[in-house]
Amino acid sequence: MHSILICDSLEESGLSLLREAGNAVTVLAAADRPRLSQLVADYDAIVVRSATKVTAELLRAGKKLKVVGRAGIGVDNVDVPTATELGVLVVNAPTANLLSATEHTFALIFSLLRKVPAADASMKRGEWDRKSYTGSEVFGKTLGVIGFGRIGQGVAARAKAFEMNVVAYDPFLDPAVAERLGVKPMELADLLAASDIVTLHTPITPETRNLLSAGRLAAMKQGAYLINCARGGIVDEAALVAALDAGHIAGAGVDVFAEEPPTNFDLAKHPKVVATPHIGAQTAEAQERIAIETAKMLAAALEGSLPAAAVNLPFRPAGKSGEPYLKLGERLGRLASLMSGGSLSELRLDLWGLDEGLRTALTVASLKGALEPFLGDGVNYVNAERLAKDRGISVVCALHSGSSDYPHLVRVSLGGPGGTVELSGALVGERDPRVVGIGDYRLEFRPEGRLLWLENQDVPGVVGKLGSALGAAGVNIAGIHLGRHEVDKRAMAILQLDQEPAAKVLEQLAALPEVDRVRYVDLT
The residue from 150, 216, 278, 519 that is catalytic is 278
19 included as an active-site residue = no
Known catalytic membership, residue 408: no
Check if the beta carbon of residue 259 is closer than 8 Å to that of residue 285: no
Cβ distance 510 to 492 under 8 Å? no
Q: Residue 218 in contact with residue 191, Cβ under 8 Å?
A: no
Give strand pairing partners of 68. Answer: 46, 90
How many Cβ atoms from other residues are within 10 Å of residue 100's Cβ? 22
Q: How far apart are CA 401 and CA 11, in angstroms?
A: 49
Separation CA 491–CA 463 (nearest Å): 11
Instruction: Supply the DSSP string of 75-140, one letter for each residue.
Output: -TTB-HHHHHHTT-EEEE-TTTTHHHHHHHHHHHHHHHHTTHHHHHHHHHTT----GGG-----TT
* CA dist., res. 416 & res. 419, Å (int): 5
* 260 tagged catalytic: yes
Handedness of CA 388, 390, 394, 400 (dihedral sign): positive
8 Å CB contact between 196 and 169 = no
Task: Indicate the SS3 state at residue 507.
Answer: helix
**Separation between Cα atoms, residue 56 and residue 423, nearest integer Å:** 39
403 C-beta neighbours (distance < 10 Å), count: 10
Q: Which one is catalytic: 2, 70, 104, 231?
A: 231
Catalytic residue among 259, 260, 303, 500: 260
Q: Three-class SS string for 227-272? A: EECCCCCCECHHHHHHHHHHCCEEEEEECCCCCCCCCCCCCCCCCC
Positions annotated as catalytic residues are 231, 260, 278
